[in-house]
Structure 1
Amino acid sequence: MHSFTIEKLIQHLGPVGAQLKAGRKGLTNKIFNANIIDNPDSFEWFTAGDFILTTGYIFLNDTALQRKLIRELADQNCAGLGIKVKRYWDEIPKAIIDEANLRGFPVIEIPFTYSLAQISNIINAEVHQREDSVFKKYRDIHNAFSKCSIEGGNLWEIVKLTSDLVENPVIMLDSNFNLLSYYERPNNPYKLSDNLQLIEREKVFTKEFTDGIPTSAKKFTLSIKRKFPDENGDIVCRVIPIAYSQIIYGYIIVWEVTHKLESIDYIALESAAQSAAMERVKTKQMIEAQHKMKEDFYDDLLQGKIVSVNAVKSLAEIHGINPSRNHICAVINTKDAPRETLKEIINICMDVAMKCRRRIRSIIRENNVIMFIELEEAESRYEPSIEVRGFLERLELNINSSCKGLVYRIGVSNVCTDFLTIGKSCLLAQDVLRISAKLPTSEGVFYFNDLISYHLLDSTLDKARLQNFFNSALGSLRDYDKINKTELMSTLESYYLANGNVSIASKAMFIHRNTFIYRIEKIKQILQNDLKDAEYNFNCQLALHISKIIDVS
């Protein structure tokens, strides 16, 4: 038996005066149910195939709400809208007709002599006569998922089956919005791979997209609509929870581009969600065991307990790391931040990494977030590339924006060319944090390669020898500053930082150029040196470095 469509409804009601007023393009829309709208906030409770009936009272004299009504019902793939006239409206408002024509959404004028209940009964009677075919489809859907489960179908097979049934690309995420599986359609004009980073166990969508998606099953309606921005227009995505016993184990996302979802499609999605929930419950214990194994792996790796190249290779690959690539270790150190803040930092790291197309792995240890940054083959094996520095600068901006008031520093190691020794790189990153804490600017991102001279001085010479070297080079200048309360030491440092350019150095210190020249002449007099000898200048700069890592007062 053929479906009951808008066209058939008009044929049925035409003799009693019903007329199509807008949306002729939607004449073939299928009707599966009749529903009455009496609340402007009830849009989300309607589903595909619903024919909505209203007197228009709740939209009276509100043009914006009238347009919103049509937009929301069209986005929900409802079949059409029936408006009873001559009670609150003499005719259907122009705003509704214009919006409906724009979206090809059918709007039918219902004669005053008919009650909404009568129209609802007519529609439901027609629908019920055709329900045998719907029930058959429902049984087919149920049998298909039952067969898939009996034959041990995994999430990839469930997603493929779902995609075949709803005729759209489908993506399955875990409860943290990391990718579990997906299935592409050959006729998809907006390819998943062109728009999304499809890497298992990593974020697929940005935080902006997932914000607002309920994490509690109680807050979900039939589905949640999200729009994915595309240069050719927003892509509609339908989000369905994978839930069991009011616990959300993940989400099914339909990339609605090749077929508008109908009522029967939502039945398929519900069955898919149930099958996926059972699969997720079965694997929950396995995931918990994997998490424990992952934590043990990182602990052993950082402590240098893994000594076999083959062992680190196989274990790293299990945990989504490519050990054949070079890596950089970055340690984000916070000041007594709660664990929830550290988890938020990890989410920020993952979100920024996804936007920068950068592969990372992050773990929490005490007050630190330790991040392993995978490098591209073309990137330098000697120092962090411009792209890596750009990624970390962007990360710093995002942490500052999301965690206002958080006191933290980021220490960045050298490039690790042997993943077996990544633990040493982690220690270097922590060493960078320790040394950076002694510098005047102790917040921000600090790189081992930028502080390598400080690291060398701090790790290879005892403090007494460093003190003697400083006294020999700049002791007289330090004593003059102390007695006369001057700033000749910082003046000399600015002079070197500006490569001897007086104009740049004076601007950096916010003093007049002549004042800066006077100070430099005074420094030359105290040091009894004209600052033209390269070797002497090197010793002075080294002494200034020493003053940053030990107390030379």
Structure 2
Amino acid sequence: MGVTIGEALKTKFFTGYHLIAGEKGLDREIQAVSLFDAPDGYKWVKGKEFMLSSGYLFKDNVELFREAILFLYKQNSTCIAVKKDRYLGDVPKEIIDLCNELGFPLINVPNNVAWIDIINAVNSIVMNRYITHIIDRKNADKLVLRSDDFHKKIEKTIICLSEELKYPISIVDILEKEVFTYPKEQPFLKDNISFSKEDNFSFNYQKEILCDKLNIYRIKNIEDSNKCPFVIIPIVIKGVTVSKLIVWEHSGKIDYYDLFVLRLSYTLLLEVYEQIYLMNSFERRFYDDLIRALINGELDSKQNLIKAISNIQDFKLNIENNFICVCIKQDGGNPSFYNDREKISTTFLLNIPKDKSIFGILDDNTIILLYDVKGYNKDVIKNVKKDFESIFKEIKNNFPDREIKLGIGDMVEDICSIKKSYVGSLKAVDIGSYIYTDGEMITFEDLGPFGLLRLESIQRKDFGNNFSHISPLLEEPDSDELISTLKVYLESESNCNIAAKKLFIHSNTVRYRIGKIQQICNIDLEDPIERLKVEITLKFINSLK
């Protein structure tokens, strides 16, 4: 993107400048400003530069003047501007004729103008033109767009940017898994679009950093040089990449001014995405009551559910799909999850698409998510567990001092039956904490037969009555030692020698303690049923203490 030399000369800054020759080339585009005053300084140009010189080199050296003009024209420079009255005096006729013939503008610069002022003026003209274009487009759209038409605002920004840069532009929404490209139907989109937050392309590529501050970089296919390179700008909110702005360099590399416009467009898009985030964060505060009504069975039909969600703007969940309940629970005694709602919401909003899940805080210590699993044809539980690994890790990092566990229930085909999955997710956390003491992500499926237990039964009174034969051990002064020996003994398949090695004691000590335990509890550990009952009891020993 640039501005033509003709457009620049019409601006107020260039009022005192005079076009000496080359009027046919006033449509040549400026994309940079360069200065040279060394005999061969003009040879290090890239094209489309507004070339500045004091003219000293060309005094009494028409051949060098001619050579420089021919070289600059061949390299597609924009023009050459000299301070004619400083050293040159009258410009030789053959130079004027050459510039007119080539259509290469030769411009006289007033003596009192500093080079930096020219550079700043050209930069300002280019930048102001795009800013004015954006403002005019936004003002025109005010009659059409509502304040919450966020996706339309994004599309308008992309269209405006593409028309200004004259490159195809795409916006890849990672959370919504959507792509908008202008102009549409570009042949190079396939294999290049990735909804991953990281680069995940199907080809070997070279990555070139263009701006490390905003992480703007170019991707070039090194397997096929005919493939179109592209520039990526990740749009990041709260440390999470939510979208990617892509410029397809089908007709050459973007230039300095293009990068400026990209930075400006990035700012505009970031503002819109932050508005989307704030809107979603506000709306999802209302899901607490909706989820509570579902798991309590108050919304027992889809008709009732449709009425309940009719007032929630932009509700994207498809209630016809299959769902699983995910429960995140912390130990009591910690600060309430309600105090950290913003932190929790940010984690979910920026990691889970809103057409995939809704979430809410059930009580001080419990977060509930209803998760759409329609896309999983098999291994549903395994896939859900995989989906939540990074999310759960982020939650734990947010609350490093707390004991937090995640439970996953079974799939239900009707969202109005989610209570069953909810109870399973709670059991996965509460009962699973005893079965898998080191586990942090536990599924109801993992519990096996233990899933048959009722949560309310795991209390000292009820549980103690059911397993009273172990209770006497808790009254012994060396109860911890006896219980530890019993656990290891059973885990070692009742082998005293193996248990002794694990406990770092003599095997006779193990035999003595096991004998004492059987005498105190009046149990026969040779009986498979009695042994199974003891093994189960030991899983929940903390409830008995």
Structure 2 partner of 1:102: none
Q: Are positions 1:301 and 2:301 aligned together?
A: no
Asked if structure 1 preserves the Cα contact closer than 8 Å seen for 2:172 and 2:195, the reply is no
- Displacement of 1:436 after TM fit? 6.4
Deviates more, 1:366-375 or 1:440-449: 440-449
Q: How does 1:110-129 map to 2 (within 5 A)?
A: 118-121=114-117, 127=122
Distance 1:296 1:431, change over 3 A: same
- Displacement of 1:266 after TM fit? 5.2
SS at match of 1:184: strand
Provide the rounded CA distance (Å) in 2 between the counterparts of 1:443 and 1:477. Answer: 27
Q: How does 1:146-295 map to 2 (within 5 A)?
A: 147-152=140-145, 154-155=152-153, 157-162=155-160, 164-165=162-163, 166=165, 167-171=167-171, 182-184=179-181, 194-197=193-196, 225-227=214-216, 236-238=231-233, 254-258=245-249, 260=254, 263=257, 290-291=283-284, 294-295=287-288
Q: 2:530 aligns with which of 514, 531, 536?
A: 536
Provide the rounded CA distance (Å) in 1 between the counterparts of 2:496 and 2:328. Answer: 37
Asked if structure 1 preserves the Cα contact closer than 8 Å seen for 2:356 and 2:372, the reply is yes
Q: Deviations over 1:144-192 (max 9, x none)?
A: 555555444823541451353242434387xxx9669752365586769
Provide the rounded CA distance (Å) in 1 between the counterparts of 2:113 and 2:236. Answer: 33
Asked if structure 2 preserves the Cα contact closer than 8 Å seen for 1:170 and 1:252, the reply is no
Asked if structure 2 preserves the Cα contact closer than 8 Å seen for 1:223 and 1:240, the reply is no
Structure 2 partner of 1:362: 359
Structure 2 partner of 1:61: none
Distance 1:8 1:298, change over 3 A: closer
Provide the rounded CA distance (Å) in 2 between the counterparts of 1:241 and 1:395. Answer: 17
Structure 2 portions without partners, runs of 5+: 1-25, 53-76, 78-110, 200-210, 223-228
Provide the rounded CA distance (Å) in 2 between the counterparts of 1:410 and 1:137. Answer: 50
Q: Deviations over 1:372-400 (max 9, x none)?
A: 3333433457xx32x44445554454444
Asked if structure 1 preserves the Cα contact closer than 8 Å seen for 2:428 and 2:444, the reply is yes
Structure 1 partner of 2:400: 404
Distance 1:499 1:390, change over 3 A: farther
Q: Are positions 1:28 and 2:47 aligned together?
A: yes
Q: Which amino acid aligns with 1:308?
A: S
Q: Which amino acid aligns with 2:180?
A: Y
Structure 1 portions without partners, runs of 5+: 35-78, 80-114, 198-203, 207-221, 243-249
Provide the rounded CA distance (Å) in 2 between the counterparts of 1:540 and 1:168. Answer: 70
Distance 1:549 1:137, change over 3 A: closer
Provide the rounded CA distance (Å) in 2 between the counterparts of 1:280 and 1:346. Answer: 14
Structure 2 partner of 1:212: none
The percentage of aligned residue pairs carrying the same residue is: 16
- Displacement of 1:313 after TM fit? 6.4
Q: 1:2 aligns with which of 18, 27, 34?
A: 27
SS at match of 1:195: coil
Structure 1 vs Structure 2 CA RMSD: 5.7
SS at match of 1:405: coil
SS at match of 2:467: helix
Q: Deviations over 1:166-224 (max 9, x none)?
A: 42434387xxx966975236558676974225xxxxxx679xxxxxxxxxxxxxxx996
Asked if structure 1 preserves the Cα contact closer than 8 Å seen for 2:34 and 2:49, the reply is no
SS at match of 2:405: strand
Q: Which amino acid aligns with 1:254?
A: L
Provide the rounded CA distance (Å) in 2 between the counterparts of 1:493 and 1:372. Answer: 38
- Displacement of 1:464 after TM fit? 5.8
Provide the rounded CA distance (Å) in 2 between the counterparts of 1:465 and 1:252. Answer: 54
Provide the rounded CA distance (Å) in 1 between the counterparts of 2:399 and 2:219. Answer: 29
Distance 1:251 1:485, change over 3 A: closer
Structure 2 partner of 1:343: 342
Asked if structure 2 preserves the Cα contact closer than 8 Å seen for 1:155 and 1:180, the reply is no
Q: How does 1:95-106 map to 2 (within 5 A)?
A: none
- Displacement of 1:336 after TM fit? 0.8
Q: Which amino acid aligns with 2:335?
A: D
Q: Are positions 1:327 and 2:324 aligned together?
A: yes
Q: Are positions 1:413 and 2:409 aligned together?
A: yes
Structure 2 partner of 1:54: none
Q: Deviations over 1:521-548 (max 9, x none)?
A: 5545666766343223223234435644
Structure 2 partner of 1:371: 369
Provide the rounded CA distance (Å) in 1 between the counterparts of 2:301 and 2:349. Answer: 29
- Displacement of 1:419 after TM fit? 1.4
Q: Which amino acid aligns with 2:160?
A: T
Q: How does 1:450-465 map to 2 (within 5 A)?
A: 450-451=446-447, 453=450, 456=453, 458-459=455-456
- Displacement of 1:344 after TM fit? 2.6
- Displacement of 1:322 after TM fit? 3.7
Q: Are positions 1:422 and 2:406 aligned together?
A: no
Provide the rounded CA distance (Å) in 1 between the counterparts of 2:348 and 2:277. Answer: 25
Asked if structure 1 preserves the Cα contact closer than 8 Å seen for 2:281 and 2:349, the reply is no
Asked if structure 2 preserves the Cα contact closer than 8 Å seen for 1:329 and 1:372, the reply is yes
- Displacement of 1:226 after TM fit? 1.6
Q: Which amino acid aligns with 2:371?
A: I
Asked if structure 1 preserves the Cα contact closer than 8 Å seen for 2:327 and 2:406, the reply is yes
- Displacement of 1:19 after TM fit? 0.6
Distance 1:9 1:138, change over 3 A: same
- Displacement of 1:456 after TM fit? 1.4
Q: Which amino acid aligns with 1:373?
A: Y
Q: Which amino acid aligns with 1:422?
A: I
Structure 1 partner of 2:92: none
Provide the rounded CA distance (Å) in 2 between the counterparts of 1:134 and 1:518. Answer: 88
Asked if structure 2 preserves the Cα contact closer than 8 Å seen for 1:223 and 1:239, the reply is no
Provide the rounded CA distance (Å) in 2 between the counterparts of 1:285 and 1:275. Answer: 14
Provide the rounded CA distance (Å) in 2 between the counterparts of 1:351 and 1:279. Answer: 11
Q: Which amino acid aligns with 1:155?
A: K
Provide the rounded CA distance (Å) in 2 between the counterparts of 1:239 and 1:465. Answer: 56
SS at match of 1:225: coil
How many residues are treated as equivalent by the alignment?
Answer: 424
Q: Which amino acid aligns with 2:370?
A: F
Structure 1 partner of 2:41: 19
SS at match of 1:2: coil
Q: Which amino acid aligns with 2:486?
A: L
Distance 1:377 1:122, change over 3 A: closer
